Chain A
Protein backbone atom coordinates (compact mmCIF):
# COMPACT_ATOMS: atom_id res chain seq x y z
CA UNK A 1 0.00 0.00 0.00
CA UNK A 2 2.84 2.34 0.94
CA UNK A 3 4.61 1.63 -2.33
CA UNK A 4 1.50 2.63 -4.35
CA UNK A 5 1.50 6.14 -2.88
CA UNK A 6 5.25 6.63 -3.01
CA UNK A 7 5.45 7.67 -6.72
CA UNK A 8 2.53 10.09 -6.23
CA UNK A 9 4.15 11.63 -3.17
CA UNK A 10 7.48 11.90 -4.99
CA UNK A 11 5.86 13.53 -8.02
CA UNK A 12 3.99 15.98 -5.82
CA UNK A 13 7.09 16.89 -3.82
CA UNK A 14 8.97 17.60 -7.05
CA UNK A 15 6.11 19.42 -8.75
CA UNK A 16 5.21 21.65 -5.83
CA UNK A 17 8.45 23.71 -5.78
CA UNK A 18 8.26 24.02 -9.56
CA UNK A 19 4.69 25.24 -9.34
CA UNK A 20 5.61 27.73 -6.65
CA UNK A 21 8.58 28.92 -8.68
CA UNK A 22 6.27 29.48 -11.63
CA UNK A 23 4.12 31.70 -9.43
CA UNK A 24 7.02 33.98 -8.53
CA UNK A 25 6.54 37.28 -10.30
CA UNK A 26 9.46 38.89 -12.05
CA UNK A 27 9.19 41.80 -14.43
CA UNK A 28 11.17 44.50 -16.15
CA UNK A 29 10.56 48.03 -14.95
CA UNK A 30 11.19 51.37 -16.58
CA UNK A 31 14.55 52.65 -15.23
CA UNK A 32 13.18 56.19 -15.57
CA UNK A 33 9.77 55.33 -14.13
CA UNK A 34 8.27 55.27 -10.65
CA UNK A 35 8.19 51.52 -10.08
CA UNK A 36 11.75 51.21 -8.81
CA UNK A 37 12.52 49.94 -5.33
CA UNK A 38 13.32 52.68 -2.84
CA UNK A 39 15.38 51.87 0.25
CA UNK A 40 15.34 54.39 3.04
CA UNK A 41 18.72 53.27 4.32
CA UNK A 42 20.81 52.85 1.20
CA UNK A 43 21.56 54.38 -2.16
CA UNK A 44 19.45 53.16 -5.06
CA UNK A 45 20.10 53.36 -8.78
CA UNK A 46 17.66 56.26 -9.21
CA UNK A 47 19.68 58.22 -6.65
CA UNK A 48 22.69 58.01 -8.96
CA UNK A 49 20.57 59.52 -11.72
CA UNK A 50 19.26 62.29 -9.50
CA UNK A 51 22.71 63.26 -8.19
CA UNK A 52 24.31 63.16 -11.63
CA UNK A 53 21.43 65.10 -13.18
CA UNK A 54 21.61 67.88 -10.62
CA UNK A 55 25.34 68.50 -11.01
CA UNK A 56 25.26 68.26 -14.80
CA UNK A 57 22.34 70.69 -15.00
CA UNK A 58 24.17 73.06 -12.66
CA UNK A 59 27.43 72.85 -14.61
CA UNK A 60 25.81 73.31 -18.02
CA UNK A 61 23.50 76.07 -16.75
CA UNK A 62 26.46 78.02 -15.39
CA UNK A 63 27.81 78.47 -18.93
CA UNK A 64 31.30 77.51 -17.77
CA UNK A 65 31.72 74.82 -20.42
CA UNK A 66 31.76 77.41 -23.20
CA UNK A 67 34.48 79.35 -21.36
CA UNK A 68 36.90 76.44 -20.98
CA UNK A 69 40.12 76.75 -23.01
CA UNK A 70 40.57 74.72 -26.20
CA UNK A 71 37.02 73.78 -27.25
CA UNK A 72 36.21 70.98 -26.90
CA UNK A 73 38.18 70.99 -23.68
CA UNK A 74 40.09 67.89 -22.62
CA UNK A 75 39.14 66.89 -19.09
CA UNK A 76 40.47 64.39 -16.60
CA UNK A 77 38.46 63.06 -13.71
CA UNK A 78 39.89 62.30 -10.32
CA UNK A 79 38.63 59.19 -8.54
CA UNK A 80 35.50 59.90 -6.48
CA UNK A 81 36.10 60.09 -2.75
CA UNK A 82 33.34 57.98 -1.25
CA UNK A 83 32.89 58.61 2.47
CA UNK A 84 29.45 57.01 2.67
CA UNK A 85 28.89 53.85 4.66
CA UNK A 86 28.08 52.08 1.42
CA UNK A 87 30.58 50.27 -0.76
CA UNK A 88 29.63 50.65 -4.40
CA UNK A 89 31.22 51.43 -7.73
CA UNK A 90 31.13 55.21 -8.00
CA UNK A 91 31.35 54.88 -11.78
CA UNK A 92 27.60 54.40 -11.49
CA UNK A 93 27.41 58.16 -10.97
CA UNK A 94 30.54 59.38 -12.72
CA UNK A 95 29.87 57.59 -15.98
CA UNK A 96 26.52 59.35 -16.26
CA UNK A 97 28.23 62.69 -15.69
CA UNK A 98 30.86 61.87 -18.30
CA UNK A 99 28.26 60.85 -20.86
CA UNK A 100 26.31 64.04 -20.24
CA UNK A 101 29.42 66.22 -20.54
CA UNK A 102 30.49 64.49 -23.76
CA UNK A 103 27.00 64.99 -25.20
CA UNK A 104 27.30 68.73 -24.71
CA UNK A 105 30.07 68.77 -27.32
CA UNK A 106 32.09 71.11 -25.12
CA UNK A 107 34.25 68.48 -23.38
CA UNK A 108 36.20 65.37 -24.21
CA UNK A 109 37.53 62.94 -21.62
CA UNK A 110 41.25 62.14 -21.90
CA UNK A 111 41.67 58.36 -21.90
CA UNK A 112 45.42 58.14 -22.55
CA UNK A 113 46.60 59.86 -19.39
CA UNK A 114 45.60 59.84 -15.79
CA UNK A 115 46.67 60.39 -12.21
CA UNK A 116 50.15 58.92 -11.68
CA UNK A 117 50.46 58.11 -15.38
CA UNK A 118 47.73 55.47 -15.14
CA UNK A 119 45.68 55.81 -18.29
CA UNK A 120 42.11 54.67 -18.27
CA UNK A 121 42.54 53.04 -21.68
CA UNK A 122 45.97 51.34 -21.73
CA UNK A 123 45.59 50.15 -25.33
CA UNK A 124 44.85 53.68 -26.53
CA UNK A 125 47.83 54.95 -24.53
CA UNK A 126 50.13 52.40 -26.20
CA UNK A 127 48.70 53.24 -29.62
CA UNK A 128 49.23 56.93 -29.03
CA UNK A 129 52.80 56.31 -27.87
CA UNK A 130 53.45 54.28 -31.03
CA UNK A 131 52.07 57.07 -33.23
CA UNK A 132 54.20 59.60 -31.37
CA UNK A 133 57.24 57.38 -31.93
CA UNK A 134 56.48 57.06 -35.65
CA UNK A 135 56.14 60.81 -35.99
CA UNK A 136 59.32 61.44 -34.01
CA UNK A 137 57.54 63.13 -31.13
CA UNK A 138 58.04 60.41 -28.54
CA UNK A 139 60.49 62.56 -26.60
CA UNK A 140 57.81 65.20 -25.97
CA UNK A 141 54.69 65.25 -23.86
CA UNK A 142 51.67 64.88 -26.11
CA UNK A 143 49.69 68.11 -25.66
CA UNK A 144 46.46 66.17 -26.12
CA UNK A 145 47.19 64.42 -22.82
CA UNK A 146 47.35 67.64 -20.85
CA UNK A 147 43.91 68.34 -19.41
CA UNK A 148 42.36 71.75 -19.90
CA UNK A 149 40.15 71.09 -16.89
CA UNK A 150 39.88 68.52 -14.15
CA UNK A 151 36.96 67.29 -12.11
CA UNK A 152 37.01 66.28 -8.47
CA UNK A 153 34.10 64.67 -6.69
CA UNK A 154 33.24 63.65 -3.19
CA UNK A 155 30.24 61.69 -2.01
CA UNK A 156 29.15 62.15 1.59
CA UNK A 157 26.32 60.83 3.71
CA UNK A 158 24.30 62.01 6.67
CA UNK A 159 21.96 59.88 8.73
CA UNK A 160 19.28 60.90 11.19
CA UNK A 161 16.53 59.10 13.07
CA UNK A 162 13.43 60.23 14.88
CA UNK A 163 11.30 57.51 16.42
CA UNK A 164 10.83 54.86 13.79
CA UNK A 165 11.50 57.26 10.92
CA UNK A 166 14.92 57.04 9.39
CA UNK A 167 16.43 59.66 7.14
CA UNK A 168 19.48 59.40 4.96
CA UNK A 169 21.01 62.17 2.86
CA UNK A 170 23.55 61.65 0.10
CA UNK A 171 25.46 64.68 -1.08
CA UNK A 172 27.67 64.81 -4.16
CA UNK A 173 30.13 67.70 -4.23
CA UNK A 174 32.04 68.49 -7.40
CA UNK A 175 34.60 71.04 -8.53
CA UNK A 176 35.80 71.89 -12.03
CA UNK A 177 39.31 73.34 -12.18
CA UNK A 178 40.79 75.25 -15.09
CA UNK A 179 44.34 73.94 -15.34
CA UNK A 180 45.56 77.16 -17.01
CA UNK A 181 44.82 79.13 -13.88
CA UNK A 182 44.67 76.34 -11.31
CA UNK A 183 41.43 77.79 -10.03
CA UNK A 184 38.03 76.24 -9.58
CA UNK A 185 35.71 77.71 -12.23
CA UNK A 186 32.62 75.84 -11.15
CA UNK A 187 31.52 74.08 -7.98
CA UNK A 188 28.30 72.23 -7.53
CA UNK A 189 26.48 70.21 -4.96
CA UNK A 190 23.65 67.77 -5.40
CA UNK A 191 21.67 66.05 -2.70
CA UNK A 192 19.13 63.29 -2.32
CA UNK A 193 17.27 62.91 0.95
CA UNK A 194 15.08 59.93 1.76
CA UNK A 195 12.89 59.09 4.71
CA UNK A 196 11.11 55.92 5.59
CA UNK A 197 10.59 53.05 7.94
CA UNK A 198 11.43 50.22 5.61
CA UNK A 199 11.92 49.43 1.97
CA UNK A 200 9.10 50.43 -0.28
CA UNK A 201 8.43 50.79 -3.96
CA UNK A 202 7.92 54.23 -5.35
CA UNK A 203 9.50 57.47 -6.26
Chain B
Protein backbone atom coordinates (compact mmCIF):
# COMPACT_ATOMS: atom_id res chain seq x y z
CA UNK B 1 0.00 0.00 0.00
CA UNK B 2 1.58 3.31 -1.05
CA UNK B 3 2.38 5.83 1.65
CA UNK B 4 0.68 9.19 1.46
CA UNK B 5 2.81 12.30 0.90
CA UNK B 6 1.96 13.72 4.34
CA UNK B 7 2.97 10.49 6.08
CA UNK B 8 6.22 10.43 4.12
CA UNK B 9 7.03 14.00 5.06
CA UNK B 10 6.22 13.28 8.73
CA UNK B 11 8.51 10.24 8.66
CA UNK B 12 11.34 12.14 7.03
CA UNK B 13 10.94 14.95 9.56
CA UNK B 14 11.12 12.43 12.42
CA UNK B 15 14.21 10.84 10.92
CA UNK B 16 15.82 14.25 10.52
CA UNK B 17 15.09 15.08 14.16
CA UNK B 18 16.54 11.75 15.28
CA UNK B 19 19.64 12.25 13.12
CA UNK B 20 20.16 15.74 14.50
CA UNK B 21 19.86 14.45 18.05
CA UNK B 22 22.37 11.68 17.38
CA UNK B 23 24.77 14.12 15.73
CA UNK B 24 24.48 16.61 18.59
CA UNK B 25 25.01 13.84 21.11
CA UNK B 26 28.07 12.64 19.22
CA UNK B 27 29.46 16.17 19.00
CA UNK B 28 28.86 16.76 22.68
CA UNK B 29 30.44 13.40 23.34
CA UNK B 30 27.64 12.43 25.73
CA UNK B 31 30.21 13.17 28.40
CA UNK B 32 28.61 11.43 31.30
CA UNK B 33 30.71 9.92 34.05
CA UNK B 34 31.47 6.31 34.84
CA UNK B 35 31.80 5.55 38.53
CA UNK B 36 33.45 2.63 40.31
CA UNK B 37 33.54 1.65 43.96
CA UNK B 38 34.34 -1.39 46.09
CA UNK B 39 31.39 -3.70 46.60
CA UNK B 40 32.79 -5.95 49.31
CA UNK B 41 35.65 -6.65 51.67
CA UNK B 42 39.23 -7.17 50.48
CA UNK B 43 40.17 -10.74 49.58
CA UNK B 44 43.23 -12.48 51.01
CA UNK B 45 45.28 -11.64 47.91
CA UNK B 46 44.42 -7.94 48.17
CA UNK B 47 41.92 -7.94 45.32
CA UNK B 48 38.59 -6.27 45.88
CA UNK B 49 35.19 -6.91 44.30
CA UNK B 50 33.89 -3.75 42.70
CA UNK B 51 30.75 -2.36 41.17
CA UNK B 52 30.48 0.10 38.33
CA UNK B 53 27.88 2.60 37.25
CA UNK B 54 28.47 2.88 33.52
CA UNK B 55 26.60 5.71 31.84
CA UNK B 56 29.11 6.24 29.04
CA UNK B 57 29.70 3.09 27.02
CA UNK B 58 32.34 4.64 24.78
CA UNK B 59 34.35 5.77 27.79
CA UNK B 60 34.04 2.28 29.25
CA UNK B 61 35.68 0.81 26.15
CA UNK B 62 38.77 2.96 26.49
CA UNK B 63 38.89 2.93 30.29
CA UNK B 64 37.70 -0.50 31.28
CA UNK B 65 38.46 -1.54 34.86
CA UNK B 66 39.82 -5.06 35.00
CA UNK B 67 40.89 -5.39 38.61
CA UNK B 68 41.07 -3.50 41.89
CA UNK B 69 43.45 -4.05 44.79
CA UNK B 70 43.55 -2.49 48.23
CA UNK B 71 46.23 -2.31 50.87
CA UNK B 72 47.35 -0.46 53.98
CA UNK B 73 50.31 1.89 54.22
CA UNK B 74 51.83 3.70 57.21
CA UNK B 75 49.95 1.32 59.47
CA UNK B 76 46.49 2.80 59.12
CA UNK B 77 46.00 4.43 55.73
CA UNK B 78 44.16 2.67 52.97
CA UNK B 79 45.48 2.70 49.42
CA UNK B 80 43.90 1.46 46.24
CA UNK B 81 45.24 0.44 42.84
CA UNK B 82 42.93 0.12 39.84
CA UNK B 83 43.98 -1.59 36.61
CA UNK B 84 42.45 0.05 33.56
CA UNK B 85 42.49 -1.49 30.09
CA UNK B 86 41.86 0.19 26.76
CA UNK B 87 40.11 -1.90 24.12
CA UNK B 88 40.78 0.71 21.44
CA UNK B 89 43.16 0.62 18.48
CA UNK B 90 44.22 4.24 18.86
CA UNK B 91 45.68 6.23 21.73
CA UNK B 92 42.94 7.57 23.97
CA UNK B 93 42.67 10.15 26.72
CA UNK B 94 40.40 10.39 29.71
CA UNK B 95 40.31 12.00 33.14
CA UNK B 96 39.81 10.46 36.55
CA UNK B 97 39.42 11.46 40.17
CA UNK B 98 39.38 9.51 43.44
CA UNK B 99 37.02 10.67 46.18
CA UNK B 100 37.25 9.27 49.68
CA UNK B 101 34.72 8.95 52.48
CA UNK B 102 34.73 7.65 56.04
CA UNK B 103 33.07 4.50 57.37
CA UNK B 104 29.72 6.33 57.62
CA UNK B 105 29.95 7.43 53.99
CA UNK B 106 30.72 11.05 54.84
CA UNK B 107 33.16 12.65 52.37
CA UNK B 108 36.71 13.16 53.59
CA UNK B 109 38.13 16.20 51.84
CA UNK B 110 41.56 16.07 50.34
CA UNK B 111 43.56 19.24 49.75
CA UNK B 112 45.10 17.82 46.62
CA UNK B 113 42.24 15.88 45.00
CA UNK B 114 41.91 16.88 41.38
CA UNK B 115 40.83 15.59 38.02
CA UNK B 116 43.86 13.99 36.43
CA UNK B 117 44.25 13.59 32.68
CA UNK B 118 45.64 10.28 31.42
CA UNK B 119 46.79 8.97 28.06
CA UNK B 120 46.33 5.26 27.38
CA UNK B 121 47.84 3.49 24.40
CA UNK B 122 46.02 0.90 22.26
CA UNK B 123 45.34 -2.33 24.17
CA UNK B 124 47.38 -1.02 27.10
CA UNK B 125 46.69 -1.65 30.78
CA UNK B 126 47.64 1.12 33.19
CA UNK B 127 47.34 1.30 36.97
CA UNK B 128 45.75 4.25 38.72
CA UNK B 129 46.55 4.58 42.40
CA UNK B 130 45.39 6.65 45.32
CA UNK B 131 46.13 6.85 49.02
CA UNK B 132 43.45 7.83 51.51
CA UNK B 133 43.85 11.43 52.66
CA UNK B 134 43.53 10.36 56.30
CA UNK B 135 43.20 7.17 58.37
CA UNK B 136 39.46 7.92 58.69
CA UNK B 137 38.99 7.64 54.92
CA UNK B 138 38.16 3.99 54.28
CA UNK B 139 35.87 4.07 51.26
CA UNK B 140 36.80 5.29 47.81
CA UNK B 141 34.97 6.18 44.63
CA UNK B 142 36.65 6.48 41.25
CA UNK B 143 35.10 8.74 38.63
CA UNK B 144 36.03 8.61 34.95
CA UNK B 145 35.27 11.45 32.57
CA UNK B 146 35.88 11.50 28.86
CA UNK B 147 38.53 13.88 27.60
CA UNK B 148 36.65 16.45 25.59
CA UNK B 149 39.03 19.31 25.05
Residues 81-134 of B at the A interface (beta carbon under 8 Å): 95, 97, 110-117, 129-131, 133-134
Is there an interface contact between A32 and B74, defined as CB atoms closer than 8 Å?
Answer: no
- What are 23 A-B pairs at a CB distance below 8 A? A32-B115, A34-B115, A34-B148, A34-B149, A49-B113, A52-B111, A53-B114, A53-B116, A57-B129, A57-B131, A61-B79, A61-B129, A61-B131, A99-B111, A99-B112, A100-B111, A104-B74, A105-B76, A105-B134, A200-B149, A201-B149, A202-B147, A202-B148
Whether B30 is near chain A, meaning CB under 8 Å from some CB there, is no
Query: In chain A, what residue has the closest Cβ to B75?
Result: A66
Number of A-B contacts (CB under 8 A): 77
Chain A residues, CB < 8 A from B63 = none
Q: How large is the interface on A (under 10, 10 to 19, 20 to 34, 35 or more residues)?
A: 20 to 34
Could you give, for residues 39-82 of chain A, a 1 whenever the CB lies within 8 Å of some chain B CB and a 0 otherwise? Answer: 00000001001101100110011010110000000000000000
**Min CB gap A67→B, angstroms:** 9
Is there an interface contact between B110 and A100, defined as CB atoms closer than 8 Å?
Answer: yes
Whether A166 is near chain B, meaning CB under 8 Å from some CB there, is no
Whether A103 is near chain B, meaning CB under 8 Å from some CB there, is yes
Chain A interface (Cβ < 8 Å from any Cβ of B): 32-34, 38, 46, 49-50, 52-53, 56-57, 60-61, 63, 65-66, 95-97, 99-100, 103-106, 200-203
Chain B interface (Cβ < 8 Å from any Cβ of A): 73-77, 79, 95, 97, 110-117, 129-131, 133-135, 145, 147-149
CA distance A203 to B116 in the complex (A): 8
Partner of B112 from the list A61, A63, A100 (CB cut-off 8 Å) is: A100
Is there an interface contact between A105 and B135, defined as CB atoms closer than 8 Å?
Answer: yes
